[in-house]
């Protein structure tokens, strides 16, 4: 795939993120359209999730008919050129009227994320990156933090009901015990953007899905950060993974993860 073909997908993703944001806001601004269902414990689904994903799926199929598409709600198959989309990440926040949610659009070539656009409409923030071209917030360059001191570090630790609560609590206790401040804002995709923008120093989650991170990995890496699963590999999903300013990889955060395998 040429740089031009990647750039084309980047530009399309930027436009689609804005369109998706406007569609999601049309639900957020109308309580009657905000019917919420539960997919599982603490796993919310709104009408907007399905509508935004359908819109993105059909637009991308029209412009790039040979590319594959995977979405959180509708699934999909792998492909050499693959879009991975989370129509609303931070759905619990979205359903409750909190501003911390986003649309996440990632594009992978041969399973390597090369384009990422994450748009948070209520916050008015669009994070974007493509391989080799740096990362930006609303068009201006961003960089990861340069924090090296764990006692000054802020580390977000993601949680879902997919693993026992004790695993999450154990990790928070260990990292807090090392002297870092810990937090959870309930959007994995934005959690990665916070690392990219230097607002936090690392994001760690014991089990995370590809649609939560496909776009964010490019944004973190292009902002000077690092992504690694705790086995030191580059597998993107369902594994314990750390996304950091690079320096935080030197602290023993990754080795503290207790979950030892896929689920
Ligand atoms: C979840 C959020 C959460 C993360 C979970 C995700 P959803 O996605 O990103 O912050 O910790 O792993 O499943 O349900 O809001 O789309
Ligand atoms: Ca998600």
Residues 112-116 have a mean pLDDT of 96
Enumerate the active-site residues: 72, 86, 88-89, 91, 212
| Residue 76: per-residue pLDDT | 85
Percent of the chain with pLDDT over 70: 90
Query: Mind listing the pLDDT tens digit for each residue in 157-205?
Result: 999 998 999 989 988 998 899 899 999 999 999 999 999 999 999 999 9
Q: Is the pLDDT assigned to residue 249 strictly greater than 70? A: no
Domains and CATH numbers, the chain: 3-141 (3.30.540.10), 150-256 (3.40.190.80)
The reply to whether ligand 1 has any atom less than 6 angstroms from the CB of 188 is yes
pTM score of the predicted model: 0.93
| Residue 129: per-residue pLDDT | 98
- The position carrying tokens 């709600």 is 73
The partner residues of 154 in beta bridges, in order of sequence, read 181
Residues 124-148 have a mean pLDDT of 96
The reply to whether ligand 1 has any atom less than 6 angstroms from the CB of 89 is yes
Q: Are 163 and 178 in contact (CB under 8 A)?
A: no
The reply to whether ligand 1 has any atom less than 6 angstroms from the CB of 244 is no
């Amino acid at each position: 795939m040429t740089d031009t073909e990647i750039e084309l997908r980047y530009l399309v993703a930027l436009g689609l993120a804005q369109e998706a944001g406007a569609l999601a806001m049309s639900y957020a601004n109308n309580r009657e359209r905000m019917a919420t269902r539960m997919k599982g414990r603490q796993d919310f689904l709104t009408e907007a999730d399905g509508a935004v994903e359908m819109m993105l799926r059909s637009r991308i199929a029209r412009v790039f008919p040979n590319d594959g598409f995977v979405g959180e709600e509708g699934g999909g198959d792998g492909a050499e050129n693959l879009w991975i989309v989370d129509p609303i990440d931070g759905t619990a926040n979205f359903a409750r009227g909190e501003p911390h949610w986003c649309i996440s659009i990632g594009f992978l070539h041969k399973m390597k994320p090369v384009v990422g656009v994450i748009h948070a409409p209520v916050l008015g923030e669009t994070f974007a990156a493509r391989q080799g071209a740096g990362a930006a917030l609303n068009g201006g360059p961003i960089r990861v933090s340069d924090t090296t001191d764990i006692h000054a570090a802020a580390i977000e630790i993601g949680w879902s009901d997919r693993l026992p609560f004790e695993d999450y609590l154990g990790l928070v206790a260990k990292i807090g015990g090392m002297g870092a401040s810990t937090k959870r804002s309930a959007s994995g995709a934005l959690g990665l953007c916070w690392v990219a923008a230097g607002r936090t120093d690392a994001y760690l989650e014991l089990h995370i899905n590809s649609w939560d991170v496909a776009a964010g990995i490019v944004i973190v890496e292009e902002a000077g950060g690092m992504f690694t699963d705790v086995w030191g590999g580059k597998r993107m999903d369902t594994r314990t993974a750390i996304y950091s300013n690079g320096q935080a990889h030197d602290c023993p955060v990754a080795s503290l993860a207790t979950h030892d395998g896929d689920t």
